[in-house]
Structure 1
Amino acid sequence: MYYFIVNKTSGNGKGYQSWLKVEEILKNMEIDFLVEFTEYVGHAKEIAEKQSFFQDAMAIVVIGGDGTIHEVVNALVLKDVPLAVIPAGTGNDYARSLHIPFNVEEALERVFKGIPTWIDTPKVDKEYFISIAGMGFDGKVAEVTNQSKSKNILNKIGLGNLVYIINIFKVLFTYQPTGVKITIDGKEIDFHDVWLIAIANLPYYGGGLKICPDARADDEKFDICIVSGISRWELLLVFPRVFRGSHITHRHVSMFKGETVLLAPNSNMILQCDGEIMVKEELFFSIEKKSLKIL
């Protein structure tokens, strides 16, 4: 039995269109399945937590974007049932990082033929995420993007990935960097004029920005990118390099690896995890090693 969790509204309706294709294939192949559709924020996690979803499950298959995957992951950590994904969101960075096809038929074939494997699951405070936690400038960009009216318009014409990039330029000239004390595996480092901190389990966020190109979900470590002490105009010039991941050699970019990260900013910094805005009392990041079973 395959269990599907479908966010019909993800990608401005792409989730539902993808499901219709999947449903037709499942029926033609006479494959047993159950499906539930999300109706509100947090519903995907509630569905995945149902005990019935773990009985004889070949896989729990998410059809949606990174936000929906984020919710389901928080229900599946340390459970012996694999997660599979058919990407249908705006950014689809989880799928991009793990080379999951964006084509519905090809992604579904991977569900049937994929080999289960265990990957690490990062968490902040007590909440798990799957790809990247970003603080500061990118957190603000994610907040503006989630509130953007142009997101749906660009999704309709297949240019949803541009939303994040457009909002980078909107935020660039108003954002104020701040000082941050960061502790990685017990070692404290002070940074001044911090623009962003990305704590990554996978390479991509923001719809294809390769912020931590060497990040892997099975190496039991975070990749950490810190951009600090840079002017707005220089940041604007460096930004295109993020698409290739070559920004990591820039003099104002610092890269680290570690198993635990504690952040103490001098002023409030917006936190996003997998593109979703989070409010956390404690900014302590750790890794649950080999804790999520995926296809």
Structure 2
Amino acid sequence: MTHAALLVCPTSGSGRARRLAGTVADRLRTAVDRLDPHVASSAEGTAALARRVVAEGVDVLVVLGGDGGAHLAVQACAGTATALAVVPAGTGDDLARTLGVRSVEDVVTALRAGARRPFDLGRLDDGRWFATVLCAGFDSAVNERANAMRWPAGPRRYDLAILAELARPRPARLVVETGDRTLELEALSVAVGNTAHYGGGIPVCPDARADDGLFDVTVVSAVPRRTLLRVLPTLRSGRHVDHPAVRTLRAAAVRLAGPDWTGYADGERLHRLPLGTTCVPGALSIVGSIPSV
């Protein structure tokens, strides 16, 4: 018997989650024995509801929303027997993309098949978890700007935020420590990828996988704006990692220090550097698969 809870984040995707809630609930009921729907009115409410249903011992927590709602649900599900499923209804939907989920039909198929997979998570020094990418520098400035924008909807918002931030790139002396290696350089940005994508489908760490126990780290060195303009178009294809200005490495633990940059993880604001994180293999059980890169 499968007992699931559906957590609706009604403001996700400019109200898309609210509009889909009834249809999603009806479809999920065909794949589980019991479904308890919950609607959160705020981020705090989402976090509290997620903690409550996990404490009650549900088998699966299904989040209807975006990466922000999924991030809050991860905090509740990590290290527990409750599996997480995500029905994408947000702006970026990068975690759903990693899970190979495009709609509720994919979740229904996985639930019927009993598909559960262990999924690595990043654990920050303060105890918080993240599922996709931790970033700082130019990347986090783009996140900050995109989060403040009300138009347009979807990944296009991130594209416009990138263009706006290009007017004032701010390189700084960055220190990246991985335990057996220290990288110190003038940099524009750094991304620590548990998974490949951020910003609505940008493969910033194109080879990252959430089942190998390691982070992929992408560092963009300080370059003139004209060079940055040549690198950015290659981001969507993942070919940016071939540019001489881009450094990559792999590690099970990473510490970032140096600049007065604010970190973001799963698109959510953290705090200023320094930031440290460790990859915890199989910390989460997910409904679905982890597609090959």
Q: TM-score, normalised by structure 2?
A: 0.91
> 1:272 matched to which residue of 2?
264
Distance 1:208 1:111 in 2: 25
Distance 2:278 2:30 in 1: 44
Distance 2:148 2:215 in 1: 29
> 1:40 matched to which residue of 2?
42
Change (3 A) 1:63 1:32: same
> 2:144 matched to which residue of 1?
143
Distance 1:117 1:30 in 2: 18
- CA deviations on 1:95-124 (whole Å, 9 max, x unpaired) are 112211x23333333333341121111022
Change (3 A) 1:177 1:47: same
Change (3 A) 1:143 1:42: same
Distance 2:172 2:59 in 1: 47
SS at match of 2:43: coil
Q: CA deviation at 1:229?
A: 2.6
Distance 1:124 1:26 in 2: 33
1:131-280 to 2 correspondences below 5 Å? 131-150=132-151, 154-155=152-153, 160-192=154-186, 194-265=187-258, 267-279=259-271
Distance 1:286 1:30 in 2: 34
Q: CA deviation at 1:282?
A: 4.3
- CA deviations on 1:219-260 (whole Å, 9 max, x unpaired) are 000000000031111111111111111111100000000011
Q: TM-score, normalised by structure 1?
A: 0.91
Asked if the contact 1:3–1:53 (Cα under 8 Å) also holds between the matched residues in 2, the reply is: no
> 1:77 matched to which residue of 2?
78
Q: CA deviation at 1:188?
A: 1.4
Q: CA deviation at 1:292?
A: 0.5
Give the gaps of 5 or more residues in structure 2.
288-293
In structure 2, give the amino acid aligned to 1:217.
Answer: A
Q: CA deviation at 1:53?
A: 3.7
Q: CA deviation at 1:184?
A: 1.1
Q: CA deviation at 1:142?
A: 0.3
Q: CA deviation at 1:56?
A: 5.5
Distance 1:199 1:36 in 2: 33
Distance 1:220 1:166 in 2: 34
SS at match of 1:204: coil
In structure 2, give the amino acid aligned to 1:105.
Answer: E
Q: CA deviation at 1:7?
A: 0.3
Change (3 A) 1:30 1:213: closer
1:112 aligns with 2:112: yes
> 2:129 matched to which residue of 1?
128
> 1:103 matched to which residue of 2?
103
Change (3 A) 1:282 1:174: closer
SS at match of 2:226: helix
Distance 2:24 2:228 in 1: 43
SS at match of 1:205: coil
Asked if the contact 1:223–1:258 (Cα under 8 Å) also holds between the matched residues in 2, the reply is: yes
Distance 1:290 1:111 in 2: 19
Q: CA deviation at 1:28?
A: 6.7
Distance 2:207 2:219 in 1: 14
Asked if the contact 1:22–1:108 (Cα under 8 Å) also holds between the matched residues in 2, the reply is: no
In structure 1, give the amino acid aligned to 2:223.
Answer: I
In structure 2, give the amino acid aligned to 1:91.
Answer: G
> 1:285 matched to which residue of 2?
277
In structure 2, give the amino acid aligned to 1:287.
Answer: C
> 2:60 matched to which residue of 1?
59
Distance 2:218 2:31 in 1: 45
Give the gaps of 5 or more residues in structure 1.
none
- CA deviations on 1:247-287 (whole Å, 9 max, x unpaired) are 1110000000001111111x311211111111157411111
